[in-house]
Structure 1
Amino acid sequence: MQQDIERILIDRHTIANRVREIAEQITADFQEEGTPGLPEITIVPILTGSFMFVADLVRDLPLRMQIRLITVSSYPGTSTESKPAKIGSDLDDLPASLAGSHVLLVDDILDSGQTLRLVSELLSAKNPASLKSCVLLRKKRPAAMQQPVDYVAFDIPDEFVVGYGLDYDDYYRNLPDIVVLKPDVVSQQQEG
């Protein structure tokens, strides 16, 4: 796998430090929501790409929480461009008990903005007390930069990245760093 990497964009140590900073910010913000002490929140991670990020994030949150996983796909197979989001049926299974809850939506990457926008609208319809969003990565492209988001770990160039949960055709998720693949690796797999 190392031979497929063009360069490391964000190393594992920088990621770990930034995740801790985001957790501190989230904790402080949810404490300001008016709930005495540490409030209870519901974390809604969008799988599969956010699984490493959310696992590290929740370990750094000293809050009582429920975690409700949902599946959304906008990068099918070997695609390096965001496609219309496909929502898993698990979003329909989210309980009506989200009404009145403090909800934190967590995603891996903000690219076109369509996934975050769509899921935010669906969660808003469940009448939470508050709904905040958190993304690991936001691409520096107009659609992503215009999409409202409460917490952004990193703004990155408009490049296709993998690692730390993000994949290319279900490979590279296990890389501890966020990396850019060599162009020939991407084109070779798209042709194959």
Structure 2
Amino acid sequence: MKQDIERVLITRQEIDQRLDELAKQIYDDIIADSPSCPDNGTPIIPDITLVPILTGSIIFVADLIRRLPLKMQIRVMSVTSYPGTATSTKGASVEAALTRLPERLDGHHVLIIDDILDSGNTLKLVKEIIAKKNPATLRSCMLLRKQRPEALAEACEYIAFDIPDEFVIGYGLDYDDYYRNLPEICTLKPEVYENDL
């Protein structure tokens, strides 16, 4: 597997450090939004509902939630945008069989978590679906954002890393369902995928 890697873009150490920072930022924002207890003025910390987008976000989500000392629910969604050996998005569509959203999210503080923001289609679709369920707040968190106009135009509260507009693998991201288990974020050698273009 390692022989297929062209280069490492983001190391595991860089990911660990950035996730510490990101978790603190998320936690601080939630505390800032929380009402205070009338008796002693301490914040009343709300429950949060995390909505990870399968499958690319699973490693990111697992590492991030262990850094968040909050009471939380996890409600997954499955959205397909890079089927099989595709190296560019083919449009976002929800896979209902793997999606576990309740009918309503009234009063819930929702955080969408996904692996990569490139076309903006997945995030836009998921936001629209969740907004109709009436959450108290709706935020989004991305591991990666590609430096391309569509990605930069889509609002997202938390971005771990901005990257060049390249196809990447590792740390949950795949090519044809492989390479998710790499601990770093990498690019593939062109000969690995060029026959599929």
Are 1:173 and 2:157 matched, yes or no? no
* Aligned 8 A contact 1:70 1:90 in 2: no
User: Which residue does 1:22 correspond to in 2?
Assistant: 22
Q: Distance in 1 between matches of 2:134 and 2:99?
A: 14
Residue equivalent to 2:4? 4
- Aligned partner of 1:74 in structure 2 is 81
Letter in 2 for 1:168: Y
Q: Judge conservation of contact 1:46–1:107 (CA < 8 Å) in 2.
A: yes
Q: CA deviation at 1:40?
A: 0.8
Letter aligned with residue 180 of structure 2: R
> Partners in 1 of 2:100 and 2:142 — Cα distance?
23
In the TM superposition, what whole-angstrom CA distance separates every residue of 1:17-57 from its partner, at most 9, and x where no partner exists?
11111100000001111243332100000010000000000
SS in structure 2 opposite 1:24? helix
Q: CA RMSD in A?
A: 1.3
Instruction: For structure 1, list consecutive stretches of 5 or more residues without a partner in the other structure.
Output: none
The alpha-carbon deviation at position 100 of structure 1 amounts to 1.0
- Report the identity percentage: 59
Deviations 1:79-120 (A, max 9, x none): 000111120115874113411100000010000000000100
- 1:105–1:132 Cα contact (<8 Å) kept: yes
Q: CA 1:2–1:93 in structure 2 vs 1: closer, same or farther (change >3 Å)?
A: closer
Give ranges in structure 2 of 5+ residues lacking alignment.
36-42
Q: Which has the larger radius of gyration?
A: 2
Count of aligned residue pairs for this structure pair: 190
Q: What TM-score do you get using the length of structure 2 for normalisation? A: 0.93
Structure 2 counterpart of 1:6, one-letter code = E
- Distance in 1 between residues matched to 2:80 and 2:179, nearest whole Å: 17
Which residue matches 2:48?
A: 41
Distance apart, 1:154 and its partner CA: 0.3
